[in-house]
Amino acid sequence: MYDIVIIGSGPAGLSAAIYAQRENLKAVVVEKEFMGTGQIAESERVDNYPGLYGETGFDLGEKFRTHAEKLGAEFVEGEVTEVERVNGNFSVNIDGGESLETKTVIYAAGTQRRKLGVKGEKEFLGNGVSYCAVCDAAFYKDKITVVTGGGDTALGDALLLSRFCKKVYLVHRRDELRAAKSLQEALQALPNVEILWDTVATEIKGEDQVEALALKNVKTEETQELPVDGVFIAVGIVPVSRLLLGMDVCDEKGYLIAGEDGMTKKPGIFAAGDIRTKKLRQIVTAVADGANAITSVEAFLNHK
Ligand code: NAP
């Protein structure tokens, strides 16, 4: 019987694992990917985590993980298929048949990239459609690419791609970007990046590979077909909360409702990281959530 099963090995889950070890709690982290560190691995550069200026997301994630491992954290690889309440405790069922008995669960499964929802997106995934510029930018040396979205991720992706590609288009549905001003300034200074304002993608086209992106200007209704080799989709995030949807613990967008202490309305289930209802989804707030959740778990176990 574990004290805690931590679902997710991103910054929140790894921080919870570190704090659990420090409190001598019997904890295990269930991770979907072997040696995973969550979406942080897709950030090319993290400039807002105090003390580690200019670190790549991948390296920072590795540091979190190594730290947890050095303290003796236990990991299990697999996808959680069900969290069941059993005799006042929980059974966390993993694909492949393994089942972990635990007194509490910290849900730190984070978010995943939102789909654009246009024709060709699914069909060309891996053949010109990507959700991860850090993973795929190098395949587009001297090519033409397009990034959709106007947030931090889209601009970070466009900045990275501009170092490889001869031309990068940023397609944004409004006439104002949501991303941090520093990213906007950096992007607008680049000669090989062009922003297409008030524009939405309507279809990704090609034979075996992406060859063009069909676009529509939402103000003028004008349409055009842009010849491109790659389409990078960065239109936001959605919570990974499939498992919780029947439990009446999520808000209308699927985020797990909890305050800073991570307590949900189901006793014994705690939230940490991007999955939690909150204003600022950053690495620094995710690691804080992991620590706070362990404090709440301890208080819960002491009163159980
Ligand atoms: P985001 O901030 O939600 O931005 C999503 C962008 O996609 C917005 O510009 C939005 O347009 C656009 N969009 C959404 N749905 C669309 C659709 N169906 N068609 C076309 N465009 C669509 O998402 P994000 O950039 O992935 O960032 C997520 C969170 O992570 C944010 O809190 C962000 O600050 C954080 N983040 C931080 C860092 C960092 O600090 N280094 C890096 C990456 C991300 P509108 O603007 O019109 O809504």
Q: What is the pLDDT along the chain (304 residues), one digit of tens a residue?
A: 999 999 999 999 999 999 999 999 999 999 998 788 888 887 778 888 999 988 999 999 999 999 999 999 999 999 999 999 999 999 999 998 899 999 999 999 999 999 999 999 999 999 999 999 988 999 999 999 999 999 999 999 999 999 999 999 999 999 999 999 999 999 999 999 999 999 999 999 999 999 999 999 999 999 999 999 999 999 999 999 989 888 899 999 999 999 999 999 999 999 999 999 999 999 999 999 999 999 999 999 999 7
Ligand 1 pocket residue status of 63, Cβ below 6 Å: no
Ligand 1 pocket residue status of 239, Cβ below 6 Å: no
- Catalytic residue annotation: 132, 135-136
Tokens encoding 186? 């950096």
Smallest CA separation from ligand 1 atom 30, residue: 281
- Dist. CA 46 → ligand 1 center (Å): 16
- Dist. CA 172 → ligand 1 center (Å): 11
Backbone phi and psi for residue 92, each to the nearest 5 degrees, phi listed first:
-100, 110
Q: Residues with Cβ < 8 Å from 252, sequence gap 6 or more? A: none
Ligand 1 pocket residue status of 216, Cβ below 6 Å: no
Of 147, 197, 189, nearest to 168 by C-alpha is 147
Smallest CA separation from ligand 1 atom 14, residue: 235
Tokens encoding 52? 């580690």
- Predicted structure pTM score: 0.85
Are the C-beta atoms of 157 and 232 separated by less than 8 Å?
A: yes
β-pair partners for 236 = none
Are the C-beta atoms of 57 and 32 separated by less than 8 Å?
A: no
Ligand 1 pocket residue status of 236, Cβ below 6 Å: yes
CA distance 148 to 200: 8
Ligand 1 pocket residue status of 153, Cβ below 6 Å: yes
CA 107 remoteness from chain centre:
14
